[in-house]
Chain A
Amino acid sequence: MANILEIKDLRKSYNGGFEALKGVNLEIEEGEIIALLGPNGAGKTTLISTICGITSATSGDVKVAGNCIKDDFRAARSLIGLVPQEVALEPFEKVINTVRFSRGLFGKSRDEAAIEHILRRLSLWDKRNNAVKELSGGMKRRVLIAKALAHEPRVLFLDEPTAGVDVELRKDMWDIVADLKADGVTIILTTHYIEEAEAIADRVGIIAKGELLLVEEKAKLMARMGKKELEVQLTEPLDTIPKSLAKYELSQTHDKTSVVYTYDTRGERTGITQLLNDIAAAGLSLRDVSTRQSSLEDIFVTLVQEDAA
């Protein structure tokens, strides 16, 4: 699949000398969903704002479907839709008019069928004649998405689209993103919610202090860096771990009723069978056994901490 977005050595410095972006390089294939994770102030929004033309880059090059964002800004921007982090909408305007305005602003002629399709898809059709200020917070976020989709972009930037929304609405948003992906729209989203990236992204990028620490396919990343934990619940609390089990480097839960064994899923042998045999040989009785995959959040925290160190 061809690259729809190419970012080369993108830098952004502010007057005070603060470097918000320190030479970001990134290539994104058409049709994929990439999630950019990072703590506050990492440079996620600056990266999006620079690509979209809201912020001027200090140096570097960005191409959208081969169009430079500086030299061919009309062609480049017409392919991009942006859903900003803040809910920024004209409060007194009707929903349908604000979406029509966005379409016109991007040079697309009026198309009522297209507007209806977008509004229906986002469950906003019944609210089309309501003033924006009459809508709930969740509905306003949908209007932002409708505005970003009004000119039928090929690349959609979602800057923390589910920040501050309830779980149900977040799941709705994920469904919307999945629908857009099915239509071939490339989606770049920034998020604080690791579960969001885990649920919908094809690739994950981790950004901290203006640098892209890594970009990798989500499944590979989790397989490469993910660890699994086996929790063995005992029938009786255990004061000290028997010496015969020392080689497994077990940890104990707070109530001392369980021991936890961490193993690498990529290993040829996990050592689980031997561990269970040795536990039985040590005279311990089992109540239950469970496993847990380390999450993207654990990986994220590890990477950011390593970078800080």
Chain B
Amino acid sequence: MNWTAIKAIYIFEMARFFRTFLQSLISPVISTSLYFVVFGAAIGSRIDQVDGVSYGAFIVPGLVMLTVMTQSISNASFGIYFPKFIGTIYELLSAPISFLEIVLGYVGAAATKAMFIGVIILITSFFFVDIQIAHPIAMVLFLVLTCISFSLFGFIIGIWAKNFEQLQLVPLLIVTPLVFLGGSFYSISMLPPVWQTISMFNPVVYLISGFRWAFFGLEDVPVATSLLAIGFFTALCLGAVYWIFKTGWRIRT
């Protein structure tokens, strides 16, 4: 394993994050604060508690997940798409490194950035609502797994995309709706039975449910199922990335 190369990619990618630190940080913090103001204070004050948790606190895990998922995808997809776009991908392809090392470098950096922002969002939420974390280790585990799996997904999008429009397509048209409809702002049990059944086909439901369980002990689906779902999604993405590098799809002619 070429650890020096992994470290080089990781440091180079993190440097991009720190170059635009304020932009990377302020934008999600402001967005989340607005969610708290609108959903937590304005609308939330008119909503009763959800399973004994105030609505403002109830949406915190969903908001963190929303940010972490979108940030993981955008960081990882941009991270690998940009070298393709400006042509510096030649250096990766001609270096003595394997696909696994490239993925570890890029996905590791994207996951770190997303986790960093997720933690900042969580800290921000303490200024708005009073929350307790029932299972802190499980919370960290879910956060890390989500960052890694969605960064892998973003990496695949970055390789697939042929232009900036395509880069935005999947996050905007698929991921964001799935996250919003995955119980970020409500419990699945609040939906009519038909929609509850339909929601079970949304993979994000399992992630948010597991993450919310780590906070409040509340779950829409059993926590073991949530872990299995995230494990399955990670394996699926890893398989896709392995195939991409094996065949050179969209990176090697």
Which residues does A use to contact B, with CB under 8 Å? 14, 49, 52-56, 73-78, 80, 82, 84, 86, 88-93, 97, 100-109, 147
Residues on the A chain within 8 Å of B82, using CB: 90
Asked if A77 and B95 sit within 8 Å, CB to CB, the answer is yes
Asked if B86 and A88 sit within 8 Å, CB to CB, the answer is yes
In the complex, the number of residue pairs spanning A and B with C-beta atoms less than 8 Å apart equals 84
Residues on the A chain within 8 Å of B16, using CB: 92-93
Per the 8 Å Cβ criterion, residues 1-48 of B in contact with A are 2, 4-5, 7-9, 11-12, 15-16, 19
Asked if B12 and A54 sit within 8 Å, CB to CB, the answer is no
B162 within 8 A of A: no
Residue of A nearest to B86 (CB): A88
Residue of B nearest to A131 (CB): B19
Residues on the B chain within 8 Å of A52, using CB: 90, 93-94
A56-B252, A75-B96, A105-B8 known; A84-B2 Cβ under 8 A: no
8 new A-B pairs (CB below 8 Å) besides A54-B90, A107-B96?
A54-B94, A77-B95, A88-B87, A101-B8, A104-B7, A104-B11, A105-B8, A107-B4
Least CB distance from A269 to B in Å reads 54
Distance of A55 Cα from B252 Cα, bound (Å) = 6
Least CB distance from A289 to B in Å reads 52
Q: Which of B7, B12, B96 contacts A77 (CB 8 A)?
A: B96
Distance of A80 Cα from B5 Cα, bound (Å) = 16
Distance of A97 Cα from B11 Cα, bound (Å) = 10
Asked if B94 and A53 sit within 8 Å, CB to CB, the answer is yes
Residue of B nearest to A157 (CB): B94
Residues on the B chain within 8 Å of A73, using CB: 96
Asked if B90 and A105 sit within 8 Å, CB to CB, the answer is no
Residue of A nearest to B93 (CB): A54
Q: Which of A90, A97, A108 contacts B88 (CB 8 A)?
A: A90
Distance of A108 Cα from B253 Cα, bound (Å) = 27
